[in-house]
Structure formats: structure tokens, C-alpha cells
Structure 1
Amino acid sequence: MASGNNLMEKLQDEVSCSICLEYLKDPVTIDCGHNFCCMCISDYCERWSTAGAALCPQCRAGFLQSTFRPNRQLANIVEGFEQLALQTDKEPMEKLCEKHGKKLHLFCEDDGEAICLVCDKSREHRSHTVIPIEEAAQDYKVGLRQFLGPAWFLPLQEKVRARRELIVAEFAKRHQALEEEKQLLLQRLEEDEEETLRKLQENTAFLVEQSSSLVQLMSEIEQKCQQPAADLWGLLWLDVTLDPSTANAYLLLSQDQQRVRVSEKRQDVPNNPERFDTCTCVLGRQRFTAGRHYWEVDVGEKTSWTLGVCEESVSRQGIFTPSPATGFWTIWLRNGDEYAALTSPLTELMLRVKPRQIGVFLDYEAGEVSFYNVTGSSHIYTFHDTFSESLRPYFYPGVRAGGLNDAPLSLQPGTE
């Protein structure tokens, strides 16, 4: 029977809360593994926790209040144990007095032990202070709670205090660093603002100066615009003449060297290296290494031609394909209505008005060669490039095409 009592006492300890000393109610488990009534450990933490942390009432291990875990399995065990205890009440399981075999209803405060009613009347305890065992149990509960008071939490509180001071110091250090960085950024921002304002003022002064120049330029342009277009081009107009020494043997040049057309027969001309030996084309006498120049060519009703400028050093022998890569900046007409700029690949040109006269404008320094439809008073195409050697006017009157393209290319003289 004694071993049965010991087992029941051991089980009773396991299912009892070490704070209230009653059976566990709504048991929860903390980080260290010990179990307590949910209400008991919550009240305990409310009184003694610091920054959400406390020490276990049993082992003094630290835990966080936020990590409580309900222990449903233990709750079922406690419930089963309570039912078992009720059943065994019919067979007393309490501890009995070892001397008299009676129930222990009293507690001797002098000896600190439970006694029975017979012991209370004995000489051993007659002069001692004896109280009911329930009252003694309550006193011990109060004493235990007091024992689990501030003394247990001093180390934790000291640790938390030191941690708090460390955090405060660290944040103060970071705050100081951020404040210094803020001041540095504000200083840089102020410097950037001053620099931007200075540049803005300089640009404003420059724009004011440029505005004055533009007003003057606009006035000059307005005056120029009142002049006829021919007068404006006349300022740049160049009387271009053809260079016979470069003309292919099947070309016929006029006596004034301002018209060229294709002949059926080969002409008796010297076989000099400047002459185009295969392609029926010819160059102008003029060579350009600077400046702006303009000339016009009458193409009439021709069905094919090529006009523009080329480098002095272009090949004169064999067949070649004109393009900027080979030193040619030209446009052409083919099959009577197919216009193109000789880029690589070709750039097709859509002209609303069929030109009878083509204007060619060269701006050497700007690297531009522009073509104009004089008949329709419109721009046709502009090449943009960089020139590094002498340029010369280039003319290709096309093939005869059974007489359909016999008309000559005619250079227009400048107007005085």
C-alpha cells in the first residue's frame, strides 16, 4: 500500500502547478519544459517579468512570455488523474501517521511536520503550536510565492538593464552617425544648389547675349527673305564648266563645255589616266576644298542621269558603284521615274513634281551635299559626311536608250 501511495504522490506532483500547488488548469509549457497553470504563470509574469522576459519558478531558466505553448495532452492527463483521485477517495490514499495509523489532520509548526489528533495530545507535541493542515498548506503557499519574489529576478533584471543600456548606447551612436551623415548631405546639397544657381545665372547671361544676336540675325534674315531666291543663290552661284580630260570617249561636250550627251561613236581622244575609260561620265573643272558653292543642271525630259560631287581621287578605270564609301555623293534617275540617293543601300526618293532643273549645294566645312528640285521649289535630299580631300562636280548623262535619252545635261550659267 505504501508503494501505491508513493506512486500517487509522484503522479500528483507531476500534474500539480508549482505556483498554486493545485492540479494544473489549462496547462502551458514554457521554454525550459516546465508546466504551469495558464492563469498562474500569466499572473507571475505580470508581477515579475521585465521587457516580456522572466525566470522559470522551478529552474530559474529564462523564458519569454510570448512563447507559452498550451499542453493539450497534459490537460487530458490531469483530467484523468482527477477522476482517478475521486474514485480512490473511497479507499483512503492520504498519508497516515506512522505511529498511530491515523489521518494527518494537523501540522506542528515547531517540528515542521504533519501529525494526527493522537500526536497532538501526546507529550511530544503538547506544548507546541499546532494548526490545521489546510491552514499550514495555505501559509506555505504564501511563503513560496514570497520566496519566488524579487530575489529570484534580480539577476534577470540586472541583465535586462545592462542590455537596455547597451541598446540605448548603440542607438545613440547610430543616431550620431546618421546626424553627421545628414549634415554632410545637407552641406553637399547646399553646395550643389549654389553651383547650379551659378551655372543658371551664367546660362541666363549667355542666353540674353545670344538672344540679342538672334534678334540681329533675324533682322538680317528678314531682309534677305525679301530678296528673290535667285538673288540669294546668286551670292553662292558658281559657273561650273566640264573638264574634257576626264570625259569618257563616248561623250560629246559642247564648245563652251557646259553641255554633255552620249554619242553613238567613240571619240578620238587621248588615253590619259584622268579619263573615265568605262563609265560614260565626266567631272567639272572646279575643285573644292572649302566654302559653300551652288550650281544648277538642266535635265529636261531625260529618262536617266546621275549628278552630284565626288572626290578627286576616285577610280577612273573599270566599272564602279557610286556611294559615299567610294567617294561619291550623288542622286540619280532611272527608267524615267525612279529617283534615289546613292547611299548603301539605296535611298528611294518620292518626288511630287518631276524636276527639269536640279540644284546642287555643297557646304564643305559642314560636310553637306544637298539637292533641290528647282522646278518644284523643294528640297530633294541632303548627304551628311566629313570631307578630307578635294571635291569635284560629277555628271553622268545616262545611256541613249534607243534615242529616248539623247538630250544633253546642260549647266546653267549664274545670274548677274
Structure 2
Amino acid sequence: MASVDLRDELTCSICLNIYTDPVPVTLICGHRFCQDCITKTLDNQSGREYSCPEGKHGFIVVENFLSTRPGQKEVGIPCTYCVHSLVPAAKTCLHCEASLCETHLRVHSKSPEHVLIEPTTSLRNRKCSVHKKVLEYYCSKDAVCICVSCRLDGQHRTHKVETLNEASEKKKKKLRNIMEKLTSKKKEAEKRVQSLQELRRQVQEKAAGVTEQVGALLKDIMKQLKTLEKRVLNEISRQKEQVSLRVSDQIQQLEIKKEELSRKMGHIEELCNMTDPLTVLQGCESDSDDYCDTEEGDNEDRERDDNKVRAVGNLDVGLISVTLHSGLAGIVTGVKRQLHVPDSSDMLLDVNTASDILLDVNTASNDVTVSDDFKTLCRSEISQSRPETSDRFEKNQVLGSRSFSSGRHYWEVESSESGRWIVGMAYPRIARKGRQSVIGYNNKSWGLWRWDHDEYSVIHESKEILLTHRPSSQRLGIYLDYEAGRLSFYELCEPITHLHTFTATFTEPLHAIFGVDFQFLKVHHRSFQSVNSWLRIIH
């Protein structure tokens, strides 16, 4: 009975024979036929609709199930044997070079030569181009996939070969290792992206904060300027009123004098009109002390009156100027404490103006002079014969008296228009003699050099960098951020120009250091002029 059922399962209901094709064609109604049988049967039917030969129950096969039309649902790789319907393939047989759906797969040959793989349309690269056999092995030496004939009879017979699965697993292992490395790099890149995004966020927050600070600072400046304007205008108004009162007093005195003169002139006119000589002579003698003054006395009175007019008629411009300049200087000093260095927005409100930097004469070379206020350094043609100590420089240098071991600090210097000079910072244990004592020619100092042929350079550890900016101002700003390890130089021209920033990890207290006219340094074949240069600490 089971045998009869199996025969029915394998018999085509059209030709009543066992299926002539390796795999029968299955319609969507589930009935199976030989491919040639069902094709001829359906071709003989007319109309847009086709019916299954076993459609005893009126089962209709609609055309859109039998052909591929635009808009039909994609099924990936279709089964090769389901010609009248798009049934997705479950496997591809390399031996048959066909793709099979689940139904056809059940009756497919299970022999070893029928190799099944995932559905694919690329069958050409699955077989050996020489022997036309399925690729089953991998030659490690030549890094190619080969068939059994290549392994036994071909050029790979002496090579080490592996099954495709073995070789694939090894390659997968290598790929996983690569994947781990790439994953690690990706995570690192993601961290860097997050870090940069955080930095961008911080910069935006800082920019917003700085914008607010600058706005508040400018408002405060405007307020101070308004206050200063009011103070100066009040001083001008006060002087105007004071001068006006003095002038009015002088006018009143002169009006009284005019009336007295008019009275005298009237009396004289009366005497001149009299005909009696005795009356004229007697009247003149009695009034001689009043209106017979000498010409010399008149000149003295005029000179005294002119001096009074000049004294009360001028404003005290000097006082007005001092009031204006002192007020502006106060505003500028306050602004510099809050905002001065262009690229240091994080130090707006906490930079210290190092106004107490002085030159330490105990370190000054005998070839330089130091001013009485310890602010100015000049080259001297005459030796200063200072006591020889271990702190004194042999070359034309001097240290600042103040040390810096924390915080942010700013100060300015003024220089000679020509000649050579150096400004910078140094540790106090910098050498005092020899070339290693020169600013920048060691690892204990950082210097900005100005050469007498109009160029700047910066030097540290004897490494010199020539700057492209040409000197255009005699004023320099120096900014030190000790914790951040930044030493910056600015030329205070219009606009302010950033010259250079040294970056380092400072490990000792720093002192400002200054040098002038280093005639002994014949570096870089520079030509030197005999010009005595000078430096002055402004504040």
C-alpha cells in the first residue's frame, strides 16, 4: 500500500509516467507535473487565465502567478524548476547548476557529488576553469581554490591544501582578529569624536561666557568714560565760572576807574572853560595830586591791569589735561587687568599686571647700566666695576627681581628703535658665564631676540626660529601662564600682533630676563652695527 502511495507521488497526472525531469514542476495549487507536459498543456489553453489539469474543483491558476510582471513581489533567487511561479530557492546545487525551492529540495539527489550551497546565481566562479569541476579545496601556497583534479593531477598536487571549510575557518579567524582591531580603532575614533565634540561644546560655552564678559567690560568702560567726561567737563565749567567771576571783578574795577577819570575830565573841562585866570590857577593847584599823574605811573597801571587780565582770562589747561589723562590711564589699567592678551580668553578676569618687576642689579653685567628706578637697562661702554659675585652675569644681561611660580601674569617693555636686545624668562639657576649663560642658549631660558637688521627670532635650547613678522613697534607685551606652560610675546602695534608662544612644563620659579647689545654672538653670519640698545619695563 505504501508502495502504491509513493508511485502516485512520483507520477505525472498528464503522461501517467514517472516524472521525466529530475525535479517536477509544481504549480501554486500544489499539483506536480513533468515540465514538458505542463508547458504543452498550458500553451493549448486560451485566455488570460489558466486552469490546472487537475482542476476538478474549479481551481484557477491566474496569469500573474505564472509570469513575471512589473510590480511582482521580489523573491530573491527563484527556484529553477518552478517555471510558472516565482518560488524562492532554498539551496543551489553546484552539480546541477540549478536553484531549488523547499519542495524540489526534498526529492533532490543526496549523492556527494551534488554539493548544496546557499542560493546564488554566480555559478561560474564555483567551478574549476580547467577541469569544470566543483571547487572543494584551497591551496595555501598559491592562495587559490581548486578542484579534486587540481589536487590529484594538476600543478597543486605537491602543495599543502585544505578543505574549503578549514581554509574558510582560518580566514574567518584572521578576519575576526582584524575585526577586533578595527573595532578597537573605531571605538578610539568614537572617543576622539566625543572628546572633540566636548571640546567644541566647551569652546562654545567659553565663547558665550567671554562674549558676556566682554559686553559687561565694554559697558563698564562706557560708564567710566561717561563719568570721566562728566568730571572733565565739570572741571572746565568750574574754571570757566571762576575765570568769569575774576573777569567780572576786573571789569567792575575798571568801570569805577572810568567813572573817576570821567569826573576828573569833567572838572578839567570846567577849568578850561573859565575866563578868570585866578580861578583856573587855584583850581589846578588844589587838584594836582588827583589828575596830574606822571606818564610813568600810567604805564605801570596799564601793565598791572594787563597782567591781571591775563591771569584771570586763561583756563588751567594743564589741570584739565592731567584730569583727562589720569582718568584714561586708570581706565586703561583696569582694562589691561581684565582683558589684554588677544588669544587668552580664559584669563579675562584673573590676569595679574606685573607692575612690580624691577631689574636685579646684583645680577647685572658690568657692561650694562641700570637706571635709578631699576626699570631701564642700557649698554655701557664703561665697565661699572660692580662687586664680583656668583650671581652676576658675564654677558650683557640682568634678571628681574620678582619670581613667578604660579598664576597668569602680564607686563610690557619698551625698547630702542634700533640695535639688538633680548627679553624672556629664565630659571634662577641659569649659568652666569660662557655661551650657555646667554638667553635661549640653554634649557633654562626662553628668549625673544630683536636683531639690529629688523628681524625677530626666538631661541630655546640653542634652537633658533626666525619669525616672519618684521619689527614695527617699540612696545612689547609678555604673557606668562605658569600652570598652562605658556610664554607668549606680542608686539603692541595696531592691531596687536602675536609673535610667538613657547610651551613647556615649568618646574622652577621663573624670572624675567633682559639683555642688550650682544656683540660677541656672531651667529647665522649676521652683520652687526655698533648701536647701543636699551630696554625699559613699562609696567
TM-score of the pair, normalised by structure 1:
0.49
Q: Which has the larger radius of gyration?
A: 1
TM-score of the pair, normalised by structure 2:
0.39
> Structure with the greater relative contact order (CA < 8 A, sep ≥ 6): 1 or 2?
1
